[in-house]
Amino acid sequence: MTLACVGAALAAPWIAPQDPFNPAAFELNQAFRPPAWLDGGTARYFLGSDDQGRDLLSAILHGARISLGVGLAAVCFALVLGVSLGLAAGYRGGWFDALVMRIADVQLSFPAILIALLIDGVARIALPAGAQDAIAVPVLIVAIGLSAWVQYARTVRGSTLVEKEKEYVQAARVIGRRPLAIMLVHVLPNVMGPVLVIATIQIATAIITEATLSFLGVGLPPTRPSLGTLIRVGNDFLFSGEWWITVFPGVALVTLVLSVNLLGDWLRDALNPKLR
């Protein structure tokens, strides 16, 4: 079920009945079609259609793909940034450590969504209006990533402080290995365990953050809808009776997040050598 869900999201371009990014395919006279099993519904629009006459099932599949992609990319970005900073801070110590950790503390005192909003907003002002839609995805990834690196940095720093006192690290120093090499080949593999666990949980969080941003209208534009965008669009019609436009993407979001979390749990157990 989990695999089916994630798989469907990944395979969206091949299994979706319609291309939701192609405005030419939209048929305005088919707008507000209810789901197939209700009066006025057709099999062509299985989950109904939205205000633009766009097939909701296709939109959801593609939206889930975008959500998942943005979530994964954001987590990767946060992971690389957080792990590098945490590793360097923990291993070097001194002023660098103090600086990184104070920045982390300051950032932790704000909600992640606020940070993402802030970064997103700054990027929008800084960039020319025409480029905004094109770079919406990268901006979103960076915004979510920057709001999430702290957790990795703190975890990695903590484990690094423990590992660097261990004798195998001392032994590598006696051999004459450079600090960077010790950090990468000796310390890093031994501090990644807890980080991967956080990452699996964070993918779900990142998807929700992305959906929230898109729902608030600062995420992805309706022309490239993610699940959050779809929910926002559908929200306008919730009280005029066309509930399906918002409910189905909502259900899809919940299912996706749940699936990713289950996948993470499974991955964590599979990676733990003690449980094997």
Partner 1 sequence: MRAPLLSVKAVTRDFDVSRPWLDRVFEGEGRRLLRAVDGVTLEVRHGETLALVGESGCGKSTVARLMVGLDAPSGGRIEFHGRRRQMIFQSPYASLNPRWRVRDIVGEPVRVLRLARASEVDGRVAQLLAQVGLAAEDGERYPHEFSGGQRQRISIARALSGEPDLLVCDEPTSALDVSVQAQILNLMADLQSRLALTYVFISHNLAVVSQIADRVGVMYLGRLVELAPAGELFSRPRHPYTRMLLEAVPQIERTGEPRTPVAGEVPNPLAPPPGCSFHPRCPHADERCRRERPELIDAVACHAVQEGRISFAR
The residues of the shown chain that bind partner 1, judged by CB under 8 A, are 166-168, 170-177, 186, 189-190
Closest distance of CB 154 from partner 1, Å: 17
Closest distance of CB 174 from partner 1, Å: 5
Q: Which residues lie closer than 8 Å to 56 by C-beta, 6 or more apart?
A: 45, 47, 48, 49, 50, 230, 244, 245, 248, 249
Q: Kindly tell me which of 68 and 169 has the beta carbon lying closer to partner 1.
A: 169
- Which two three-digit tokens encode residue 28? 């305005």
Closest distance of CB 161 from partner 1, Å: 14
Closest distance of CB 23 from partner 1, Å: 52
Q: How far apart are CA 85 and CA 181, in angstroms?
A: 15
Q: DSSP characters for 13-74?
A: HHH-SS-TT-GGG--GGGTTPPPTTSTT--TTSTT-B-TT--BHHHHHHHHHHHHHHHHHHH
Q: Kindly tell me which of 14 and 274 has the beta carbon lying closer to partner 1.
A: 274
Q: Kindly tell me which of 139 and 188 has the beta carbon lying closer to partner 1.
A: 188
Q: How far apart are CA 65 and CA 259, in angstroms?
A: 13
Contact 270/193 with Cβ under 8 angstroms? no
Q: Kindly tell me which of 97 and 210 has the beta carbon lying closer to partner 1.
A: 97
Q: Kindly tell me which of 116 and 191 has the beta carbon lying closer to partner 1.
A: 191
Closest distance of CB 209 from partner 1, Å: 32
